[in-house]
Amino acid sequence: MSFFEELKRRNVLRVATAYSLMAWLLIQVVATIFPAFGFSDSSVRYATIIAVIGLVPAVILAWVFELTPEGLKKDDGVRSASKAVGKKSKTLDQVIIVVLALAVTYFGVDKFVITPAREAALTEKMANQIDQAREAGRSEAFIESYDDHSIAVLPFVNMSSDPEQEYFSDGISEELLNLLAQISELRVISRSSAFAFKDKDINIVDLSEKLNVAHVLEGSVRKSGDMIRVTAQLIEARTDTHLWSETYDRKFENVFAIQDEIAEAVVRQLQLTILGKRPKASHIDPTAYELFLKARHLTRSGNAEKLQQAAAIFRQALDREPDFVEAWDWLGVNYGRQVGIGIIPPEEGITLERLAIQRALQINPNYAPALASQAWLTMIYDKDFQAAATQVERALNEAPSNISSLGMAALLLHKLGRTSEAVLVNQYAIKIDPLSISIRHNTSMMLYYLQRWDEAIASFKVLLRLNPEQPGTHFFIGLAQFYRGQPRLALAEFEQESRDAVALAGKAMAYHALGDTSQHQQALQQLITDWADTSPISIARVYMAKGMHDKAFEWLNKAIALNKANHFSPLDPGFIAVHDDPRWAEFLRDINQNAQALDNIKFNVSLISNANTI
């Protein structure tokens, strides 16, 4: 008997064929199923290696052993014609046929069902990656267009004998910053980022790296009676080289001329070619100006008593200078903050805020900060998105780098369902105000709404580095982990959240996903008992996570009744499961978020004057 005939007699060839078919089928299943459970591509490689190695012992066992009616026995020359051997061969043939049928079935399903779906998902993923890369590239292009034409105005040092005069030196610095920010050819770091380094021992080179600027303007202010001394110096930040310095000794009434001269010196030293009209400081009553600087300083404190003091001082300034646009605008800001901390009732405060902003715009219809404030009221309280869009466009045309205008533009784009564009605007704003808590928060939120999980989590973590106590940040990191299928990681974040209502909601969701019924019920019941009137959206979110859609809609409707749904986003990943429910469309209409109506709103965002438009 030849070696080949002996292989056939011992069914080695049949075993090898059956094993190979079964191994191939197993590898295909692994390649299709394992990625869905988070396994990497290496799982397919390991399965293939194991299958190849396993062929050797399978063949050896087939050669050495024989399957008989009495069980598996060592081959001792059993006759090939025996019934046992024939039965074994027939069984192996049947196995091969079954495996072949399974393989053909799998091939058909893979070709006509799985592969098209996989290719569609891959195409969508690649398209999203291309869009994200394009957005990042465009954002960087906006910034690079400034080249070295970027500057941070640091708070000028108070050299007066009275420490209480610090509001004046800070005010002069901010007014210079605002004046330079009107030059569209110059990127000026916003006040909140520049002033973050006040009273801190940091060298100019490190500061330039943190703020990504080429130049720094710093100086000092001394006020004595009706005389003022301002010293200013311009520094090339990356080399800490002084480019220019000047000291101005003038009467206080000439403070505006000093500002103009400093701005002119910066333009000259940076060799800027101003395309439009050169900005000039407003010349107003000096006493009213000083009162304004003091009131603005007090308003920023956020303290209830100081806010009320500031409002009175603003009115004193306006009594002396009735057409003082900035004072009217900041008086509106003051009223808004008083509403925010409960000093005055919302209806009264919002009415006062509207009147102050309207007065500012009567004096100067193109004053960008007032237009941005008006757009906020129009969007949130009037829910007139088209009017808000028009107001923001006007604000950006007047001041393309104004942080308030950019922030409003991003929020409005998000409200209109154009969240990817909103992220681009915010990323541009971060370049101007890199240490801004609010802009970083809004950017992180929008990345979360877009389900760009890794980017959102990374952005939220930057926010925690800027402010470790920032409320809500751990909650949204937890939500990102939860919705991407990591409830244990989510729970760790929810346990660090400082806002009790959302922390309870998050923990209730995580405990439910982890199967801890007792802890889940306890957290949910406490959430409903303590926060039903203030956090109905959070309760709805928990019921959505449990798949209890009727209860979720019950709480969404309560949110509308309690006026707690103004800031709800239709893109929230927690509510995707009900997008096809007719009640969802009704809910969106009730909160003025009807997609068809929003699509008809025209809104063009110019990030740089005479340059790119989203």
Cα–Cα distance measured from residue 239 to residue 207, given in angstroms and rounded to the nearest whole number: 11
Cα–Cα distance measured from residue 607 to residue 413, given in angstroms and rounded to the nearest whole number: 13
Residues 275-293 have pLDDT tens digits of 566 778 778 899 999 999 9
**Which element (helix H / strand E) includes 606?**
none
Say if 204 falls within a structural domain.
yes
**Which element (helix H / strand E) includes 425?**
helix 419-432
Cα–Cα distance measured from residue 459 to residue 473, given in angstroms and rounded to the nearest whole number: 10
Indicate the residue among 247, 276, 305 that finishes a domain: 276
- 84, 193: one domain: no
- Cβ atoms of residues 154 and 218 within 8 Å: yes
Cα–Cα distance measured from residue 374 to residue 382, given in angstroms and rounded to the nearest whole number: 10
Residues 227-254 have pLDDT tens digits of 999 999 999 988 889 999 999 999 988 8
Indicate the residue among 261, 276, 291 that finishes a domain: 276
How confident is the model at residue 375, as a pLDDT? 95
Cα–Cα distance measured from residue 407 to residue 423, given in angstroms and rounded to the nearest whole number: 10
- 108, 71: one domain: yes
- 113, 166: one domain: no
Cα–Cα distance measured from residue 342 to residue 438, given in angstroms and rounded to the nearest whole number: 21
**Which element (helix H / strand E) includes 12?**
helix 12-33
Who's near 38: CB < 8 A, 6+ residues apart? Answer: 485
pTM over cut 0.85? no
**Which element (helix H / strand E) includes 270?**
none
Which domain CATH number covers 182? 3.40.50.10610
How confident is the model at residue 81, as a pLDDT? 44
Segments of the chain scoring below 70 in pLDDT = 1-14, 21, 25, 29-44, 58-59, 62-147, 273-277, 606-614
Which tokens in the block code for residue 542? 């928990």
Mean pLDDT (the chain) is 83
Q: Residue 389 — left, alpha, or beta (φ > 0 → left; ψ -120 to 50 → alpha)?
A: alpha
- 182, 255: one domain: yes
How confident is the model at residue 497, as a pLDDT? 95
Say if 355 falls within a structural domain.
no
Say if 284 falls within a structural domain.
no
- 61, 167: one domain: no
What Rg value do the Cα atoms of the chain yield, rounded? 34
How confident is the model at residue 141, as a pLDDT? 46
User: What angle, rounded to 10 degrees, do the helices at 419-432 and 403-415 form?
Assistant: 170
Say if 101 falls within a structural domain.
yes
How confident is the model at residue 48, as a pLDDT? 77
- Per DSSP bridges, beta strands 71-74 and 187-188 are unpaired
What 3-state DSSP class applies to 231?
strand
- 258, 161: one domain: yes
Say if 517 falls within a structural domain.
no
- 68, 164: one domain: no
Residues 79-96 have pLDDT tens digits of 444 444 555 555 656 666
Residues making up the chain, counted from first to last: 614
How confident is the model at residue 419, as a pLDDT? 93
Say if 480 falls within a structural domain.
no
- Per DSSP bridges, beta strands 241-251 and 227-236 are antiparallel
How confident is the model at residue 60, as a pLDDT? 72
- Cβ atoms of residues 506 and 475 within 8 Å: yes
Concatenated DSSP letters of 292-348: HHHHHHHHTT--HHHHHHHHHHHHHHHHH-TT-HHHHHHHHHHHHHHHHTTSS-HHH
Residue 287: C-alpha distances to residues 168, 292, 345, 549 (Å): 12, 9, 32, 62
Cα–Cα distance measured from residue 206 to residue 226, given in angstroms and rounded to the nearest whole number: 37
- 63, 159: one domain: no
Torsion sign over Cα 91, 97, 103, 106: negative
- 184, 223: one domain: yes
Which residue from 512, 373, 452 is spatially nearest to 125, judged by alpha carbons? 452
Residue linked to tokens 């001269």? 261
Give me the number of domains the chain comprises. Answer: 2
Cα–Cα distance measured from residue 614 to residue 612, given in angstroms and rounded to the nearest whole number: 7
- 9, 116: one domain: yes
- 68, 175: one domain: no
Torsion sign over Cα 207, 211, 214, 216: negative
Q: Is 105 exposed, middle or buried (0-12, 13-18, 19+ CB in 10 A)?
A: exposed
- 158, 123: one domain: no
Residue 228's identity, in one-letter code, is I
Indicate the residue among 127, 162, 186 that finishes a domain: 127
Residue ranges making up the domain that contains 269: 150-276
How confident is the model at residue 124, as a pLDDT? 52
Say if 357 falls within a structural domain.
no
